[in-house]
Chains A and B, each alone.
Chain A
Amino acid sequence: MKHTIQIEMHSRFGEFCASGENAVKLLKSEIYPILDKQPANLAFDFYGVRNINSSFSNALFANLVRRYGEQIVQSISIANVKPNLKSEILYSFSMATSEIDEAQKVCS
């Protein structure tokens, strides 16, 4: 059974998630060290988070796809998102997969 990494967003980043730098710190300190060694599920809980900007969302979610490929999305669960947060995260996933598609086209 895969290990699950639980991440409570509000307690870490407050009501407004706005710093890409802080998102990358989370990835490098707590998520990459585990995912680089073994598959794991990622459970993000956005309860209490009101707003998110593109910088944060891309630094967290687009970077996960850039590093592990689109299949990582199947290991991700995201709870308690407001519509504007969901739209932002969907954009980040889409942007990263389009980058991968473009890179593959260049390579082939």
Chain B
Amino acid sequence: MYDIHLSERITALDLTRLAMDLGVANGQDEVNVNFGSLRYFEIIPMTLLLGKLIGWYLEGKKVTVSVPDSCRAKPYLQRMDFFRKIGVDIHEDFKRQPSAGRFREFEVISRGSESQADRLATQVADVIVPDQKDSEDYSNTGYYDCVEYAVSELVLNTIQHSSSAGFLGAQFYVAKGYTQIGVIDNGKGIRQSFIDKNSPHSNRIANDADAISVALERKVSSTTHSGMTGEAVNSGVGLTILAELAGKAGGHYTVLSGAAAVIDGRVVDLGSYRGFSGTLSAFIFPREPMNKFSDHLEKAKQKIVDVDADRFEGAFL
């Protein structure tokens, strides 16, 4: 039995360290994760742990968790449905309060239908930005639109590329003024997705770091080579635009797949045996700047393609 003791405080900044600590157990048949010291756990690393635990179950490992009362983060983990999602039933000693304005319990992203993307995205935006939910003043719904947009693109990415189910978690941190969004799947990973789809970009990809970097390039996805017949469901810009958007507004992103991660454009090698077989996409969007979502989105897109508004203005009544 390999024991992993989670540290007291795990934030989004600790993500790659957590990935490497968990990865050490990849070669073990039995793993126990001990939550005893844990006091503070942010949603992005929590999403990674959830995906990792599910991945180990799927690989046939014997996985157990130890959650003693000394774990100060236990009620929060329960409120996020973390233990339920890994099939562990722990009695709750508290009354559940409404989540509006703060978080969304972990949601399952099912394989197959894209139709769940708009539903999930709207549900998350409803609880993260409840004050903008019913606003008729469209100049005052920027952050709601941002969260809804980002979640929809991340959910679609999982459905279109992973060939696996996934999980979505989101939390607004009031004191920090930003939302963390994490989406994880136990699928084939970005590199394998390029290979399986016979992508013409495959020849530029020698490892997981290359695959993530190429996926973040403009108009590149494992499925964007379907020609000019007008039947492409994916133009390969979703992740790229989100990364640009986060950069424009003082946010951050991490894409972790296989043995590598790309964090705000910086490549991190996790080591060949410490990787994660699926993909984690994690974004932090600050609220104040993102209230001007439309402006930031337009700038992010201009970086990808020169938008010639005058050329197409005649189409709009």
Interface residues of chain A, those whose CB is within 8 Å of chain B, are 13-24, 27-28, 32, 50-51, 53-55, 58-59, 62-64, 66-68, 73-74, 76-84, 86-91, 93-95, 97-100, 103
Give the residues in chain A near B235, CB-CB below 8 Å. 20, 54-55, 58-59, 62, 95
B107: interface (CB < 8 Å): no
B314: interface (CB < 8 Å): yes
**Cross-interface CB contact of B316 among A54, A58, A78, A97, cutoff 8 Å:** A78
B114: interface (CB < 8 Å): yes
**Cross-interface CB contact of B306 among A14, A18, A94, cutoff 8 Å:** A94
B241 touches A54 (CB 8 A): yes
Query: Roughly how many angstroms separate A16 CA and B117 CA in the complex, as a whole number?
Result: 10
Residue of A nearest to B116 (CB): A19
Give the residues in chain A near B153, CB-CB below 8 Å. 53-55
**A28, chain B: closest CB distance, angstroms:** 7
B306 touches A74 (CB 8 A): no
With A54-B235, A59-B232 already in contact, 20 other A-B pairs whose C-beta atoms are closer than 8 Å: A16-B118, A18-B117, A18-B152, A19-B156, A20-B233, A22-B114, A27-B231, A32-B230, A53-B149, A66-B230, A76-B315, A78-B316, A79-B317, A80-B317, A81-B316, A84-B297, A90-B307, A94-B308, A95-B237, A97-B308
**B144, chain A: closest CB distance, angstroms:** 8
Give the residues in chain B near A18, CB-CB below 8 Å. 114, 117-118, 121, 152, 156
Query: Roughly how many angstroms separate A79 CA and B298 CA in the complex, as a whole number?
Result: 20
Between A and B, 21 residue pairs with Cβ closer than 8 Å are A16-B118, A16-B148, A18-B114, A18-B118, A20-B233, A27-B231, A53-B152, A53-B156, A54-B241, A55-B233, A59-B232, A83-B294, A84-B138, A84-B294, A86-B316, A87-B294, A93-B311, A93-B312, A94-B308, A94-B312, A99-B219
**B170, chain A: closest CB distance, angstroms:** 16
B230 touches A27 (CB 8 A): yes
B153, B230, B235 interface centre (most CB from chain A within 10 Å): B230
Interface string of B282-317 (1 = CB under 8 A from A): 000000000001100110010011111101101111
Give the residues in chain A near B233, CB-CB below 8 Å. 20-21, 23-24, 55, 59
B117 touches A19 (CB 8 A): yes
**B121, chain A: closest CB distance, angstroms:** 6
Give the residues in chain B near A80, CB-CB below 8 Å. 317
**A22, chain B: closest CB distance, angstroms:** 7
**A84, chain B: closest CB distance, angstroms:** 4
Give the residues in chain A near B309, CB-CB below 8 Å. 90
- Asked whether A98 and B305 contact (CB < 8 A) given A24-B233, A103-B228, the answer is yes
Query: Roughly how many angstroms separate A79 CA and B309 CA in the complex, as a whole number?
Result: 16
B114, B138, B156, B307 interface centre (most CB from chain A within 10 Å): B114
Query: Roughly how many angstroms separate A87 CA and B145 CA in the complex, as a whole number?
Result: 13
